[in-house]
Chains A and B, each alone.
Chain A
């Protein structure tokens, strides 16, 4: 019996998480995230976040700054308060707070690989829209009490580039990033999601291409990069792996156990699509299911990437695409512990406004996807 349950737990993720394809996708994404954190000069972008900066720059930049710092909804709060204290605007700071945990390259690649391109795309768009709207509304609701200099300074926690010496040839850095992107692209095509695919006919060619690119990467590092910079990149990648993997693996198992024991009737009553006679979603039940799921995502604490695994498991149990996106949007950026921590720094009014705004915008985006984008059909449901 126990053996059977263990098999079922592993089965939940057999086709998507525990695959070679996941490894060849996720590992390069860590290398790329490490490279971005090491070599992209954070200060050059965060200087646009000051309260007097042009809004057209400040908000989009605040929404993507999270690229340099993969973190979760709790760990980002000290960085958010540092940014606020150093004179950055309230609006961009809240945009950064919301988008930071959701927008990093590792989680984007992970969701693309594990769940698929439609939800990955909508998560990116949804996070950008939600974070920017939250920032803009918060800046209107709460005028900056302490207006700092035009350029807000950046806390040292998120400016790791200070100590890193850049390669002498700028083109070598560009080539370095292109090579990493290519490794990621080829790696992610291994064991694709195409349900008609019976096997990867080009697997050997792909592995050879990855090995050649990896060789090229090593050559670039040895020839053009200062030794310390190369080591910093490896350190940063290792730091990311150390901070994420030990949380992710047990989380996958816990979610697997949870999904084995959950009754699908319960999932269907609360979160599955309610459809008319032709199979089209009915608006009000869809809104209700999406709102409930988004509310759950708002208060539930998901360590980085675990919301993706959680949503995957529940998609296989039959939740609809809208509730799934609601959790994917709300999961990383907000949580009850995060709200409590935030309350200590910014007060009740701002926390309530942040919570309400994010819940409303996420629900609207998720319902829109659900009503117009059709069904999610996991490749696991079609292919073994």
Chain B
């Protein structure tokens, strides 16, 4: 009788353990679909390999395509991967504007530089941006700046170099960056602007190395900082594994893998919540109205790299709602290092600020900057 009871007890314990184990690890078995621009095949294959090694059983399904094509798959064909990766700001912005990205999870993970390239024979003898205005340069090609990041940075560069008006009639805009490379390689166009990494550095097999050459590394002052971004979609099915993957990619190990694969690491791992001195958690419904707050807060990560981490938690999502409720907030607000209320010194004396609701309602940007400064330096 005692043996029977023991067997039943052990069976129940084992069964319960198995169910608990199964439930707690089921997210790993669920596929994690990632949309990745095809120029990042090598770094992401390497990262995925390493991630799966650290998370045995993780089921990662990468889809590689031109970035703008991936955006259109999401916007027009109803595809909903768990994670979207962008080589620059444009593709991600097009999805954020449509409210499809969970902006609280958006992270930067690598940076690029631009180069001016020509065919190997370079018959117009182009050596720098200013040469593009020469009459012997008939056709310049870049990818369409409206939906390709590299194209938008190229346009910005040509404008800031002061040559846009002189060369705009020579421009042929292509659907994809790789098509622009092909036009230059085949001699159909004399020059183009592209990232310094893929395919010049990371994937030379994609172009005939004998047909293209880099003639100038474009100085960074001609364009905005070019950073690649990664984020979960709001409708992601496997948010848990997605968040772990993003964390892996942006932590030191992930950055090291990317660096080995040719993607320049960002100066400091963005928003590393473990090491940052100031942790900002913003709880809002990140719709059009509150997006500005999110964008504003994110500037602090760039202003204080490694010292400030910002998490944007959209409480319209189920996970965001649970987290928001735990804070005790009843409307949108910001928690800095666990607090939402701060005393700051003003000309009129001490003032208590509560970071609730949107900016300019109960608090101003000036107040916020003072608090962050105080949290970092201990003074205001």
Give chain A's interface residues, CB within 8 Å of chain B.
4, 8, 11-12, 195-196, 198, 263-265, 268, 273, 275-280, 316-318, 374-375, 377, 380-384
Please tell me which stretch of B24-32, B63-71, B295-303, B366-374 contacts chain A, meaning at least 4 of its Cβ atoms lie within 8 angstroms of it: B63-71
Is there an interface contact between A316 and B182, defined as CB atoms closer than 8 Å? Answer: yes
Q: Are B176 and A265 in contact (CB under 8 A)?
A: no
B57-94 near A? 1/0 per residue, CB < 8 Å:
00000001010110110011000000000000000001
Is B144 in contact with A279, judged by CB distance below 8 angstroms? yes
Interface residue count on the B side (C-beta < 8 Å): 34
Are B72 and A384 in touch, CB under 8 angstroms? no
Seed contacts A264-B189, A277-B146, A318-B179; 12 additional CB < 8 Å A-B pairs: A4-B187, A8-B186, A11-B186, A12-B186, A264-B172, A278-B147, A279-B144, A279-B147, A317-B188, A318-B174, A382-B206, A384-B208
Q: Which residues of B contact A275 (CB under 8 A)?
A: 144, 146-147, 175
Q: Which of A196, A264, A278, A381 contacts B178 (CB 8 A)?
A: A381
15 A/B residue pairs, CB under 8 Å, sorted by A: A4-B121, A11-B186, A264-B172, A264-B188, A265-B139, A275-B175, A278-B71, A278-B72, A278-B94, A279-B68, A279-B71, A279-B72, A279-B144, A318-B174, A375-B176
Residues of chain B within 8 A (CB-CB) of A384 are: 205-208
| Given A264-B188, A265-B139, A273-B175, A383 and B206 contact (CB-CB distance below 8 Å) | yes
Tell me the nearest residue of chain B to A262, going by C-beta.
B188
The smallest beta-carbon distance between A269 and chain B, in angstroms, is 10
Task: Say whether chain B's binding surface is mostly helix, strand, loop, or mixed.
Answer: mixed
A160 to B144, CA, bound (A): 55
Closest 9 CB pairs of A and B: A279-B147, A277-B146, A264-B188, A279-B68, A381-B182, A381-B178, A384-B208, A268-B172, A279-B72
Q: Which residue of B lies closest to A5 (CB)?
A: B187
In angstroms, Cα B174 to Cα A273, docked, is: 9
- Once A280-B76, A377-B66, A377-B176 are accepted as A-B contacts, the answer to whether A264 and B183 lie under 8 Å apart by CB is yes
Give Cα A316–Cα B147 distance, bound, in whole angstroms: 21
Decide if B257 is an interface residue (CB 8 Å cutoff): no
| Docked pose: A317 CA to B208 CA in angstroms | 17
Q: How far is the CA of A280 from the CA of B144 in the complex (A)?
A: 12
What CA separation (Å) do A380 and B176 show in the bound complex?
A: 13
| A8 touching B147 in the complex, CB below 8 Å, given contacts A275-B175, A280-B76, A374-B72 | no
List which B162-191 residues lie within 8 A (CB) of chain A.
172-176, 178-179, 182-183, 186-189
- In the complex, A94 Cα to B69 Cα: how many Å? 40
- CB of B188 within 8 A of CB of A277, answer no
Residues of A within 8 A of B64 (CB): 196
Distance A268 CA – B173 CA, assembled complex (angstroms): 9
The reply on B236 being an interface residue by CB < 8 A is: no
B41 beta carbon closer than 8 Å to chain A: yes
B38 at the interface (CB under 8 A from A): yes
Q: Give CA–CA (A12, B187) in the complex, Å.
A: 11
Give the distance to chain A from B354, nearest Cβ to Cβ, in Å: 40
In the bound complex, residues from chain B placing their C-beta under 8 Å from that of A278 are 71-72, 75, 94, 146-147
B227 to nearest A CB, angstroms?
21
Contact B147–A277 (Cβ < 8 Å): yes
Contacts of A4 in B (CB 8 A): 121, 187
Please give, as numbers and ranges, the residues of chain A lying within 8 Å of B147 by CB-CB distance: 275, 277-279
Contacts of B207 on A, CB cut-off 8 Å? Answer: 384
CA distance A375 to B172 in the complex (A): 17
Report yes or no: A279 in contact with B146, Cβ–Cβ below 8 A. yes
A318 to B75, CA, bound (A): 24
